[in-house]
Each structure stands twice: as structure tokens, then as C-alpha cells.
Amino acid sequence: MRIRILGTAAGGGVPQWNCACPGCAAARADPRLRRRHASLAVEADAGRWYVVNATPDLGEQIEECPPLRPGPARRHTPVAGVILTDAELDHTLGLPRLREAPTLRIIATDTVREALCGGLRLDRVLAPYAGLSWATLPHEAPEALDGGPLEIQGITVSGKRPRYAADLDAEPAGDAWVVALRIRDRRDGKALVYAPALAAWPAGLDRALHDADCVFIDGTFWDDEEPRRSGFSQRTAVEMGHLPITGPDGTAERLAALPAARRLYTHLNNTNPLVDPADGGHRRLAAMGIDVAREREVIEL
């Protein structure tokens, strides 16, 4: 299985357009510190790639990743579709950027589809441009992706709704608002788990993580008080739907205990000190066998 890291930032990216925090200021001064919104590309089969979450940076992310660029025919694209882990804006605003395609394949839970169509009316907005082809992301058991060597499964980790869907009647779609994505290659059994947003660490996720060779975990905030300390929210990290890296609710110890060969944090908020490669948190995590995801890195499983 081949994976390309397209982005590692939480909503707003780094720098965020209206923020002058130390992380954003440093990224403006040094373009090497910029981070695009968190996303992956996974090769489903030779020359066919799925993007995991469609971020506002999707156009630039495709251009920065040679295997995703169009060709050799003028309108041929290796991008086979998009797999969504939730309905948040920072993971779905890239869908309209793909409207030039004659059809756009989207794999998501029924809950996420309901939010995008009933809340954002995305199907009606894009209908004059591209036909949307929806497929349900399985979450009871894994299923083959387009009949190829990979199988996918969504593991429900949170019932947190996007703000725009707070009053949306999601019945009968259910509670699968946020999932971790498990991808397994049936050829060799290697498995990836991608969980960029975690409000809890349920048993189903724990089982999948212990069976994975590579895991990406929500690293939005370094500690629970970071949002309040930074002055942009009155809520803690946990209250915002993100388990912090350190502290009583921290995930670092659990992540370090996993048997996976690669354990990485992604989805970093601009206030997270880890956006600075020189921050001591990187050394602390490295001593635990944990990395912070690097944009444009290629991972072969």
C-alpha cells in the first residue's frame, strides 16, 4: 500500500488567514513552516488514487503530488474519488474544487452524506457542474474498494456534528458523524488507520489500532487547556471534540503502546507548539516512538 501525506493542519491551516499567533507568524516569515489542511492520498490500484478528505487546499495538494496530476490524456486524472471521515467544512470544502470532473465519486457514511446534501445542499450546488456518485462507507465490516486489493471500513469515534448541521434531522442516517478510516491491503495484510479527529478512544478503534501497521491520530492540541490559553475559545480541547496529546486525557501514552511500525500525529492546530519543528515536544514524542506527520512524505506499507 502506498500513502502520500497531502496535509497535516487542522481547520484554518498554518498560517490561518486571520491569526497572528506565534505559529502563524513564523509560517508567514518562513514558507517551509506552512501546513496545508490534513489529508492523505492512498493508491487503490496501479495509477488510481483516493483522496482522504477534500480540503480547501485540494487543488494545490494535487499539484504538489505528481502521481495525482492529470495525464497523459488531456482530461485523464488518477484521482478516482474522495473518502470522507466526517462532514466538517475543512474536510469537505474541496469537493466543489473537483467540479470540472464529469462525475465525482464520494465515499462517506450515510450520516455524512445527509449532512452534506441536507445541510449544505452540496448535491444541488454541484449538479449543474458534475454528477455526484455516492457510495456508503461500510462501518459494520470491511468491504473491498472498487473490487480492488484494498478494503475499507469506517469506525465510529464521535457523534460530534458540524455547526451547520446542529439542527439537522439525521434520522435514519444514525450517529456516524466522525469515523476513523481503516484501510487494509488484502495482498499482504498491511493496514492503515487514519483518525484525524478524536473525541473519544472507543473499544472498536482500539482493536483496529492494535491491528494496524501505520496509524495517524488526532494531534489538534498539545494539551486540554491550549484553546483557552491561546485565547480563541472558552472551551477546552476535549469540549471541542479533540483528545489532546498530553495530560489526563492525552493520547500519547496510548499511541506509544501500539505495535504499529509507524505512529504519527496529524491535524495540528495553528496554536499547537508542534507546528514549530524545533519545539521540544518533537523530541519528547520521538523518545516514545511517535512522529509528527510530514507533508509530502510517502509511506510504503
Q: What is the CATH number of the domain that holds 209?
A: 3.60.15.10
The whole-number average pLDDT for the span 282-289 is 98
The whole-number average pLDDT for the span 17-25 is 96
Instruction: Note whether 184 and 142 are within 8 A (CB).
Output: yes
Joined together, the cell numbers standing for residue 263 give 505512529
The whole-number average pLDDT for the span 47-70 is 97
Q: How many CA atoms lie within 13 A of 133 on its CB side?
A: 10
Q: How many CB atoms are closer than 10 A to CB 100?
A: 10
Residue 71 clears pLDDT 50, i.e. is over it: yes
Residue 31 clears pLDDT 90, i.e. is over it: yes
**Quick one: pLDDT at residue 138?**
94
The whole-number average pLDDT for the span 121-133 is 94
**Quick one: pLDDT at residue 229?**
95
The pTM score is 0.96
**Quick one: pLDDT at residue 171?**
55
Residue entry with cell 519528547 = 284
Q: Decide: residue 160, CB within 10 A, 0-12 exposed, 13-18 middle, 19+ buried.
A: middle
Which residue segment(s) compose the domain that 29 sits in? 2-300
Q: Is 265 helix (H, G, I), strand (E, B) or coil?
A: strand
Please write the tens of the pLDDT for every residue from 187-207: 999 999 999 999 999 999 999
Q: How many CB atoms are closer than 10 A to CB 200?
A: 15
Please state, in angstroms and as integers, the Cα–Cα distance from residue 228 to each residue in 24, 182, 223, 236, 276, following that order.
Answer: 17, 32, 10, 6, 20
The whole-number average pLDDT for the span 287-292 is 98
The whole-number average pLDDT for the span 28-35 is 96
Please state, in angstroms and as integers, the Cα–Cα distance from residue 225 to each residue in 212, 228, 273, following that order.
Answer: 30, 6, 13
Q: Decide: residue 20, CB within 10 A, 0-12 exposed, 13-18 middle, 19+ buried.
A: exposed
**Quick one: pLDDT at residue 174?**
64
Residue 169 clears pLDDT 90, i.e. is over it: no
Joined together, the cell numbers standing for residue 173 give 442516517
**Quick one: pLDDT at residue 173?**
53
Band of pLDDT at residue 251, cut at 50, 70 and 90:
very high
Please write the tens of the pLDDT for every residue from 172-181: 456 789 999 9
Q: What is the DSSP letter of 272?
A: S
Among candidate residues 243, 190, 219, 203, the one with its CA nearest the CA of residue 294? 219
Please state, in angstroms and as integers, the Cα–Cα distance from residue 182 to each residue in 33, 118, 152, following that order.
Answer: 29, 27, 6
Q: How many domains does the chain have?
A: 1
| Sequence-ordered list of residues with C-beta below 8 angstroms from that of 74, at least 6 positions apart, any chain | none
